[in-house]
Structure 1
Amino acid sequence: MNKFIYFSLIVLLCSCKEKQNNRVEKHLPNVVVIMADDLGYGGISSYGDTIVQTPNLDMLAANGIKFTDFHSNGAVCSPTRAAFITGKYQQRTGVGGVITAKSHRDVGLGLGETTMAEEFKKHGYNCGMFGKWHLGYAKEFNPTLQGFDEFTGFVSGNVDYHAHIDQEGYLDWWNGAEINNEKGYTTDLITDYGIKYIKANNPKETGKPFFLYLPHEAPHGPYQRRVDSILRKVGTAGTKQVNKDSIPSIYKEMVEVMDEGIGKTIQALKEIGEYENTIVVFMSDNGANRYGNNGSLRDFKGSVYEGGSRVPAIFSYPEKINQGRVNHQLVLSMDWLPTLLDLIGEQPSSPNIDGISIKESLLHGTELPQRDVFFEYANKSFVRSGDWKLIRVEQGNENKMELYNLSSDLQEKHDRSADYPELVKALAEKLARWKKEVHEGVNMVAE
């Protein structure tokens, strides 16, 4: 072999190895995102719950950043997940509503969308997901085809916590793109897989950072403790009823078991020496139902009032933030994609990103730019502009409008639409323009 060519190859190989090592030496952070399911704004002890005890989430909040004005992009499961994983308003992706086990088994998040996992892979990350997908039932929508190297979990809205059967009687526990059921309580399985993934992907050994997505089922129904019996069976739609009087105590345990698992996940990061160098994000996918706790907020999951979308959220990054702070600025699920990429020095590659990076606000406490944000679910929508929130409910050929000032009326008790007709008109026009823009040319797979 020509000596010059041989020498060039040696230099190239050394350069590649040096770049790989530098990514670790420069402390490119790992990223762990934990999403609760149907956990309301007041549903953990650091947000005011006096019954449920969540010491591990409280620790993250006490040493990181706790959000008071964080909103899920959707009032139900699938839309928020679509917005989170793409950085877009979910309507642009076609996932405006729940992808149901009964009516949407052949649709899902389009493979043309660039997911957060695909973004991280472009920058040398290993990517794993364990838990709830809910962005497509069929194999062609599997997380392993959307950027994740590994996936174990379920693809429906919820499964029996012990038998892993969905609402329509289908077995729903996957290893990659294949059904492969196993014994175990769903919350514990998600935690266990997450811990195994952390230990198997230690950047000091692999030379690569990791992105780990842990979307929990808890505290979504069916309501089951670790010791409870199976409530569903294969081939039969529906769920065996649980005594309603027992649900509050079951619900409490479900949240606390999830918190216990979060503590174990944090401990695993510490054991491999990566806790300081790991970004941890915790949030809920929407507000609680009537069995949960939305604090003083009006209404519940599925609503355009604050109880439907204002949820707990926590950001932890010990290497950069080691004192507890409270962030009162308006943030949405879709903001995490551009923010997390910005924190590793990168930008989204996909067009039409609606989320914004809040990196500077997180690291330096700077104010976010003023922006209007929008929300739509079924026949209900709202626009938020500063402290003002205009709600629009379509009722036949008429639209009912309500206007609230959240700075003085967070419980949304006093409709001010009659007092500010010009503001109502201006905000209604903004909302109409937004709806037209995000729906134009989009085939809605779930509304």
Structure 2
Amino acid sequence: MNHSNTPTRQYLNTFLLLILCMMSCENKQEEHKEDSGPNIIIIMADDLGYGDLSCYGSKLINTPNLDRMSEEGMKFTDFHSNGVVCSPTRAALLTGRYQQRSGIEGVVTAANHRSVGLAIEETTFADALKAKDYVTGIFGKWHLGYPEKYNPIYQGFDEFIGFVSGNVDYHSHIDQEAYEDWWKQNKLTKEEGYTTDLITEHALDFIKRHQQEKFILYISHEAPHYPLQGRQSKAFRVVGEPRARGPETETTVIYKEMIEVMDEGIGKIMDLLETLDLDENTLVFFCSDNGGTGYADNGKLRGTKGSVWEGGHRVPAIAWWPGKIKAGQINNDILMTMDIFPTMVNLTNGNNNTEFDGIDFTQTLFKNETIEDRYLFWRHKHSKDQKKVAVRNGTWKLVIQDADVSPELYDLNNDLSEKNNVASEFPGIAKRLLTQLRKWEKEVSENVKSVAP
């Protein structure tokens, strides 16, 4: 009997066993990957108007990639930012709670709030998902604290490249108080490029590097917030010379370009997900941080950014997850920014000790089920003594624009533009809403130290 091939066969058998073990491990990893939840990408525009996307009715601005997201996913018609300005909405997104609870009720301004920020003790969605072994990244705008100690890397994010102020020159990356403001992790770092493109490039790189891991990616765009600058615009801010706005010419053309460049980048994100076969295991959610400014198209909505009218907080929102979210759906439920975090927790089978104000809307995404009716609130303090407030319940909305003005009541189903005050016709409804508003104001303000304003 010839035994000359025995060692070779032993090696071959050992090799085959190793291959089978590796395949088994990979399969188990893939099963674990599926069981532990999807990748999640949150894309937030800045000051985008309700009618600024072609899928929301714009005839001027072309947004084919966001249109595609809408066609292949779910478009929301009654989605609202928690705040009517930047910082409050971002605090609500990060914490899943009304921003009043973290003391960030107004803009964390570059001029007056350079020493404050979102408390490190707050539990953010990045903290929660990192505990579930997610890689966490944010690229773009932070606006929840200027000092290094409030940097996103101390708030649950593994990676951060972007700016911490409300806006920067899109080319020189200097804020309106004339400070350099482009960070890599917790270090100021110079980088050439148009802000919108840089945010997209870093997001794409993050996805490529972490394609074999679970990740949560927060793409926080500056566009279309002022200063109005396109790719070919000149930088105008320099260190030491505070300046908010540059020479604003051809504003309609530039504003259009800013949104279309952002849309172009979103298309690159979608294409990369498909190329890497990640699209069917990745939820992409797009929204704006508040309503549009005077440059924007808010459609039929009354008011703009800073107002508690619908134009200040009803924003475009789209969810895209091929194979999971049925294509071509339009959802009319009333949702808010603070609902995103609880939904993430459910999708990732996570546990979170935070008492959310927001709700999980997973069943809305997958089954288009109607959200249970609830009271929702907006309060914008534009100074310590002046505030605007609103409360919504179903079709009814109560608005108080000033402390000296009587509450106004609107039936949004029949009066989306908030033109006809019907408080005198439905005093009982007005009283009920006002009672709930006062109760909420007292509750969210108890034992809270204001950060901004």
TM range (shorter): over 0.9
CA contact (8 A) 1:86 1:334 kept: yes
Matched with 1:145 is 154
Say whether 1:435 aligns with 2:441: yes
CA-CA distance at 1:422 after TM superposition: 2.1
Residues 160, 232 of structure 1: 8 Å contact kept: yes
Q: 1:270 aligns with which of 261, 274, 278?
A: 274
C-alpha contact (below 8 Å) 1:337/1:348 kept by paired residues:
no
Amino acid at match of 1:306: E
| Structure 2 Cα separation of the partners of residues 184 and 156 of structure 1 | 18
Equivalent of residue 372 in structure 1, options 371, 375, 389 = 375
- Distance 1:390-1:16 versus aligned 2 partners, 3 A rule: farther
Distance 1:268 1:279 in 2: 14
| CA deviation after TM superposition for structure 1 residue 362, in Å | 1.2
- The Cα shift of 1:269 comes to 1.1
Measured after TM superposition, the shift of residue 393 of structure 1 is 2.8
What corresponds to 2:290 in structure 1? Answer: 286
Q: Which residue of 2 aligns with 1:231?
A: 236
1:298 to partner: Cα distance: 0.5
What whole-Å deviation, never above 9, does each CA across 1:58-96 have from its counterpart, x for those lacking one? 000001000000000000000000001100000001100
Within a 5 Å distance, the mapping from 1:274-423 to structure 2 comes to: 274-351=278-355, 353-378=356-381, 379-395=387-403, 398-423=404-429
Higher Rg of the two aligned structures: 2
1:61 is the counterpart of 2:65:
no
Structure 2 residue runs of 5 or longer lacking an equivalent are 1-23, 382-386
CA–CA separation in structure 2 for the residues paired with 1:323 and 1:366? 15
* 1:336 shift after superposition: 0.3
Tell me: CA distance 1:325–1:18, structure 2 relative to 1, closer, same or farther (3 Å): closer
Aligned residue among 74, 78, 82 for 2:91: 82
TM alignment of 1:77-156, pairs within 5 A: 77-156=86-165
* 1:38-71 C-alpha deviation (Å, 9 max, x unpaired): 0011010000001100000000000100000000
Closer, same or farther: CA 347–357 of 1 in aligned 2, 3 Å? farther
Partner deviation per Cα, 1:388-419 (whole Å, 9 max, x = no partner): 00012333xx3421100000000000001111
**Structure 2 CA distance for partners of 1:241 and 1:421, relative to 1, 3 Å:** same
Asked if 1:211 corresponds to 2:216, the answer is: yes
Match of 1:43 among 35, 48, 52: 52
Which whole-Å CA distance do the structure 1 matches of 2:74 and 2:414 have between them? 24
Amino acid at match of 2:57: G
Partner residue in 2 for 1:5: none
CA deviation vs aligned residue, 1:324-360 (integer Å, no higher than 9, x gap): 1000000000000001221222343313x10000111
State the distance in 2 between where 1:19 and 1:168 align.
53
Secondary structure (helix, strand or coil) at the match of 2:407 reads strand
Contact map agreement 1:380 1:394 (CA 8 A) in 2: yes
Partner of 1:6: none
Give the letter aligned to residue 185 of structure 1. Y
Alpha-carbon deviation of 1:299? 1.1
1: CA distance, partners of 2:318 / 2:245: 35
Q: Is the 8 A contact 1:280 1:315 kept in 2?
A: yes
Change (3 A) 1:428 1:27: closer
Q: Is the 8 A contact 1:299 1:305 kept in 2?
A: yes
Alignment length, in residue pairs?
426
| TM-score where L is the length of structure 2 | 0.91
Tell whether the 8 Å contact from 1:174 to 1:180 is kept in structure 2 after alignment: yes
Q: Say which SS state the counterpart of residue 410 (structure 2) adopts.
A: strand
- Report the CA distance shift for 1:130/1:22 in structure 2 as closer, same or farther (over 3 A): same
Q: Is residue 223–residue 258 contact of structure 2 (8 Å, CA) maintained in 1? A: yes
User: CA offset at residue 308 of structure 1?
Assistant: 0.2
Does residue 426 of the first structure (1) align with residue 435 of the second (2)?
no
Alignment of 1:258 onto 2:262: yes
> Matched residues in 2 for 1:243 and 1:158: separation?
16
Any idea what the Cα deviations from partners look like across 1:104-156, whole Å, max 9, x if unmatched?
A: 00100000100011111111100011000000000110000001100000000
Q: Distance in 1 between matches of 2:135 and 2:101?
A: 27
CA distance in 1, matches of 2:351, 2:331: 23
- In the alignment, does 2:191 pair up with 1:182? yes
Q: Per the alignment, in what secondary structure is the counterpart of residue 226 of structure 1?
A: coil
Equivalent AA in structure 1 for residue 418 of structure 2:
E
Asked if the contact 2:75/2:319 (under 8 Å) is kept, the reply is yes
Per-residue CA deviations over 1:262-311 (Å, capped at 9, x if unaligned) read: 00111111121101110000000000001011011111000010000000
**Gapped regions of structure 1 (runs ≥ 5):** 1-14
Give the Cα–Cα distance (whole angstroms) in 2 for the partners of residues 423 and 193 of structure 1: 50
Letter in 2 for 1:308: G
Deviation at 1:240, TM superposition (A): 5.2
Aligned partners of 2:337 and 2:370: how far apart in 1?
A: 18
Could you say what secondary structure the match of 1:400 adopts? coil
CA RMSD of superposed structures (Å): 1.7
TM-superposed deviation, 1:27: 7.2
The aligned counterpart of 2:169 is 160
**CA offset at residue 322 of structure 1?**
4.0
For 2:76 and 2:175, locate their aligned partners in 1 and report how far apart those are by CA, in whole Å: 33
Amino acid corresponding to residue 156 of structure 2 in structure 1: G
